[in-house]
Structure 1
Amino acid sequence: MNRLHIIILGACNSGKSSLVNMLTDQSTSLVADTPGTTTDPVRRSMELPEAGPCVFIDTAGFDDDTELGRQRISLTLKALDEADIAILLVGENLDEEARWKEILKQRGIPYAEIANKADLNRTEPDNAISISSIRDRAKNRTILIEAILRILPSDFGSRSITAGLAKEGDTVVLVMPQDGSAPKGRLILPQVQTIRELLDLKAIPVCTVPEKLQDTLSTLNSAPSLIITDSQAFANVYPLVPEGTMLTSFSVLMAAHKGDIRFFAESAQTISKLTESSHVLIAEACTHAPQS
């Protein structure tokens, strides 16, 4: 399952870090009265009731007008790229808060306006939900979680990885190399996510390695509906695919699930127009450092 990314935005000393600490029930973010305590975005993963696995992103105050502050704000803007929803702390700097509301609207990011200092008994802006992250924490945590659930996109988490390629009762063979490039003692996330989805569909996932694919297929009573392979094993897997069995890769599935696969497919048509003088840039999108 994809984690729900929740970004916390607000002015310096608006209580962003104490709010994250209240939500996670841990001292995740450093809290102090000094403006600018939070520098780079701080991420904390946890399970949120009814929303599932989440990542909270604590950010620097967006009203820090120093040169360093402006660099921090650029990191906050970059962090917005991964945000599904936002918690906007209000009541500290109305002009900047209004500007960030527009930024969120332009990016299509749902947000909740939270006034985080109810313990000070001050007048809060209209439309804001008033809480205190330092008093009655259990009660206020519940209020905040309810606010998050109200702005949760209705279709979040509903996108399918296999996208109709598999259904209940289908046998799906997953070819997963376990060589030197594979992580020791575990499977990579796309493999785990795909297996979990197939189990939820009540399909029948069968896992194997490339060198055992022929043996695996021979043990099945009938050809599998689908084979999903690691991209590096395509050349070895393709000749063994039974007639009528569909073949794809984890990379293709993830590009369709999270990326712009239609644009990639259209762009691939350019290959037929290449000449001897063409220049081609190949960039790998993995987040890990290349082995060589």
Structure 2
Amino acid sequence: MGLNNTPSGERIHIGFFGRRNAGKSSVVNAVTGQELSVVSDTLGTTTDPVYKSMELLPMGPVMIIDTPGFDDSGDLGALRVKKTKQVLNKCDAAVLVIDGTIGRSSCDSQLLAIFKEKNIPYVIAYNKQDLAKKQDLAENEVSVSAETGQGIFELKETIARLIKTDADTKRIVGDLISPGDTVVLVTPIDAAAPKGRLILPQQQTLRDILDADAAAAVVKETQLKETLENLKTPPSLVITDSQAFGFVSKIVPQNIPLTSFSILMARYKGYLKGAVHGVAIIESLKDGDTVLIAEGCTHHRQCDDIGTVKIPGWLKSYTGKELTIKTVSGTEFPEDLSGTSLIIHCGGCMLNEREVRFRMKCAEDAGIPMTNYGVVIAYMKGILPRSLEILPDIAKVLTK
């Protein structure tokens, strides 16, 4: 997977924030070397967050986000500020752009307080330094001029130093297998499967297996039995699409480890332990309880869509209760979770880890259990312990 094809969920998210007319968009354009954002002297020119996937040296694949002014006013301005706050939930680093001819304002101080509250690494860029007086700077402050290019290289270097990533060591499955192993990937091709390609978690898992110098056999669920019989030695692991968990578990012998793409993605995004801990709430759901089903992508819904059709059906069948099902997708996640009894989240392949953890923290703060597609399906099929055997540290959560 090349840098140009790196999914947004795997990119470092860098947000640019500040007051209207501080020069955020101009600084973004100078940093990226592109006319990414519209620049104007008119207050509030940037009306919605602007996203740009690109490679930015020395960091590599990044997502640059230009945001509306945080001091916007009026009803429409309040909506823009709300969008800006949502951006903060996914930022791995923040750049506070301050008009150097004016200096720091109460709005800037408010943004700094939010950065610190959310533990977001940040740098302050004093813009328009071609017009402003020189000033003493702290360690995380840089003088720049979007007009002349002054300090832009130093700003990029400062952002790069802020960001600590474990992208080179974090694995989906590569750390669970050994060179020479064979892993079978079960990928149903149905109406919900994207035409001409595999879904992202399947692509990423396949690549991680190859990077581990192991072999992968990719099959449909209808080919699984024959494939296992034809292999000279049993595979080290079988990974299935969660929708086929029940079917696949009956075919794969008990001595062969079995798990799902969704469970591995929850581990990769850092919320599997919480998802396993939260799934048991299913047993105490009552008539009228609300279950929120959240997806990170906005794919076209099919008649047998897993999030809006299959999981709700399985839930009602398993619990025997009349549940209220609510669904959200993409970047939308409710600020108010009151009245919700359980959150079931997708693997989060289209969301970066910080946003997934933010959603988990929102649920935790509200006292609401949050689990995962693969975890909840395995639980209802009675095979969750088996699906976690390859992850003994996580499996311990089930016994607590």
1:1-292 equivalences under 5 Å are 2-90=10-98, 91=100, 92-124=103-135, 126-127=137-138, 128-136=141-149, 140-155=151-166, 158-162=169-173, 164-258=175-269, 260-274=271-285, 277=287, 279=289, 281=291, 283-288=293-298, 289-292=300-303
Root-mean-square deviation over aligned CA pairs: 2.3
2:355 aligned partner: none
Separation in structure 1 between the aligned mates of residue 55 and residue 142 of structure 2, nearest angstrom:
23
CA distance in 2, matches of 1:286, 1:86: 22
Structure 1 residue ranges (4+ consecutive) displaced by more than 4 angstroms after TM superposition = none
State the alpha-carbon separation in 2 of the partners of residues 244 and 140 from structure 1.
Answer: 60
How far apart are 1:93 and its partner, in Å? 3.9
Aligned residue pairs, count: 289
Contact 2:174 2:212 in 1 (8 A): no
| Structure 1 residue aligned with 2:381 | none
Deviations 1:167-192 (A, max 9, x none): 33321111112222111122222112
> Normalising to structure 2: TM-score of the pair?
0.66
Q: What's the % identity of the aligned pairs? A: 41
**Distance of aligned partners of 1:291 and 1:30 in 2 relative to their CA distance in 1, 3 Å threshold:** same
Please tell me the residue identity of whatever aligns with 2:90. E
Query: In the superposition, relative to structure 1, how do residues 125 and 191 fare at CA in structure 2: closer, same or farther (>3 Å)?
Result: farther
Unaligned 5+ runs, structure 2: 1-5, 304-400
Q: Give the 3 Å change call, closer, same or farther, for CA 17–274 of structure 1 in structure 2.
A: closer
Unaligned 5+ runs, structure 1: none
One-letter amino acid of the structure 1 residue matched with residue 57 of structure 2: P
Q: Secondary structure at the match of 1:253?
A: helix
Between the aligned partners of 1:36 and 1:124, the Cα distance in structure 2 is 28
Per-residue CA deviations over 1:159-215 (Å, capped at 9, x if unaligned) read 322274223332111111222211112222211221222222222222222122223
The residue type equivalent to 1:177 in the other structure is P
Change (3 A) 1:165 1:280: farther
Q: 1:9 to 1:286 in 2, by over 3 A?
A: closer
Quote how far apart the aligned CAs of 1:129 are. Answer: 0.7
Tell me the TM-score normalized by structure 1. 0.89
Query: How far off is 1:227 after superposition?
Result: 1.1
Query: 1:278–1:207: structure 2 CA closer, same or farther, 3 Å change rule?
Result: same
Distance 1:140 1:196, change over 3 A: farther
Shifted more, 103-112 versus 143-152: the winner is: 143-152
Question: Secondary structure of 2:156's match?
Answer: helix
Q: Contact 2:240–2:248 (CA<8 Å) still a contact in 1? A: yes
